[in-house]
Structure 1
Amino acid sequence: MTYRSVEAILEQQDADLGAAEAHGIATGMLCVEIRADAENWLRELIDDEQQLIDEDKALLHGVFEKTRVLLENQNEDFAFDLLMPEDDDPLDEQVEALRCWCQGFLFGVGYAQTGSDWPGDTAEVMRDMIELTKIDTDVGDEDDENALVELREYVRAAVFTVRDQFAELGQSQPH
């Protein structure tokens, strides 16, 4: 599951979003409803998913399903991570990807959760994610790199907070 591979497919399909935002949407959908359908996700990403070649469709389905598995098995090894540019990519690109990932996550949660009642700490996490969509991408020093690492770790933990809150409601657990 590589950022560049997903990014290339989305660019080729003239999608209005990139790999980080797409992964954020998938994660948000799956946090609310672990049984969410990959086809619904694909329809959000690509205007005409019929144009996708089988190999690209399989790769995107794989990203969605791997995200599902990592979210379901969160307690085993905390292997879930955000689909983002590599650490050696330009810092401003990484920060922009984090901003887009959070934007996608908010959309994904909203796509799957239409009610206005957020369980437990979810409302606070949603407010934090909204703030992260306003992050300044004009960065470049070592302090900014360290801050990005901390923000990514916070977002990873926040994902599980949301996932756990919805699981407690019984909305997200398989029956």
Structure 2
Amino acid sequence: MRNTPATAITHAELGLVLDELRFGVAASDLHGSLTGYLCGGGIASPRNWLQRLELEPDPAATTAARMELLERLFRDCRAQLDAAGFTFEPLLPDDDDPLTERAEALVQWCRGFLGGLGLAGVNAQRGLSEDAGEILRDFATIASSSFEYEDAEEDESALTEVLEFIRVSVLLLHAELAAAAAPAPGGADQRLH
């Protein structure tokens, strides 16, 4: 959808690199996984986040430029989540791409997000507020959705509303999970490294 100035990587660019690296994962799915992992308090760096998500590029297809783009994706996602403003955006196809592609990418993004949270060790059954649990249930509903398209204008409006819900929800989850992972005053950091 929209790309903020901090995120110069487009969905199409990432998709091309992932195809070239033979990852077998869609661009939105990967960005969702990374976002979920970081929201869940997963510890990673620009150089090792792919391994943390249990992904390995094809060594024959790995180039410095491709890996730099993936490192930049990590830095951009981390910066958006940590920014004081509401700059976070799921990485989705552009607004001028067909609605069906954008909706499917949003479904993939939500699937990836939930998987990333799981890899970070977040357990939806315990330790989350009621609101956070409801958000995750809503994400699971979106992740398992199959859309029907009837009225282009209404469908576009609905997709915009769902996207805004996801943007705000990710930031709320990030704030809650970051607060839960923060060390107690005077205590040691309790996160696993």
Quote how far apart the aligned CAs of 1:34 are. Answer: 6.3
Sequence identity percentage: 31
SS state at 1:10 partner: helix
Query: 1:117 maps to which residue?
Result: 126
Structure 1: gaps of 5 or more residues: none
SS state at 1:169 partner: helix
1:26-68, CA deviations, whole angstroms, 9 ceiling, x for partnerless residues?
A: 1001111264334443234743354421101000110111110
| Kept in 1: contact 2:42–2:120 (CA 8 A) | no
Quote how far apart the aligned CAs of 1:167 are. Answer: 1.5
Give the paired residue count.
171
**Equivalent-residue separation in structure 1 for 2:116 and 2:46 (angstroms):** 12
1:145 aligned partner, one-letter code: E
Select which of 69, 81, 88 maps to 2:96.
88
| Kept in 1: contact 2:33–2:116 (CA 8 A) | yes
Give 1:1-175 correspondences, 5 Å limit: 1-33=9-41, 35-43=43-51, 44=53, 46-48=55-57, 50=59, 51-73=61-83, 75=84, 77-115=85-123, 116-120=125-129, 121-139=131-149, 141-171=152-182
| Kept in 1: contact 2:40–2:122 (CA 8 A) | no
Higher mean alpha-carbon deviation, 138-147 vs 160-169, is at 138-147
Flag the structure with larger Rg: 2
Higher mean alpha-carbon deviation, 155-164 vs 49-58, is at 49-58
Structure 2: gaps of 5 or more residues: 1-8, 184-188
**Equivalent-residue separation in structure 2 for 1:106 and 1:97 (angstroms):** 14
**Equivalent-residue separation in structure 2 for 1:170 and 1:14 (angstroms):** 34
Flag as ranges the 4+ runs of structure 1 deviating above 4 A.
Answer: none
**Equivalent-residue separation in structure 1 for 2:46 and 2:54 (angstroms):** 11
Q: Report the TM-score when normalising by structure 1.
A: 0.88
| Kept in 2: contact 1:25–1:41 (CA 8 A) | no
Name the structure where helix makes up a greater proportion of residues: 1
SS state at 2:88 partner: coil
Quote how far apart the aligned CAs of 1:171 are. Answer: 4.6
| Kept in 2: contact 1:34–1:68 (CA 8 A) | no
**Equivalent-residue separation in structure 2 for 1:101 and 1:143 (angstroms):** 22
Q: Report the TM-score when normalising by structure 2.
A: 0.80
**Equivalent-residue separation in structure 2 for 1:136 and 1:129 (angstroms):** 13
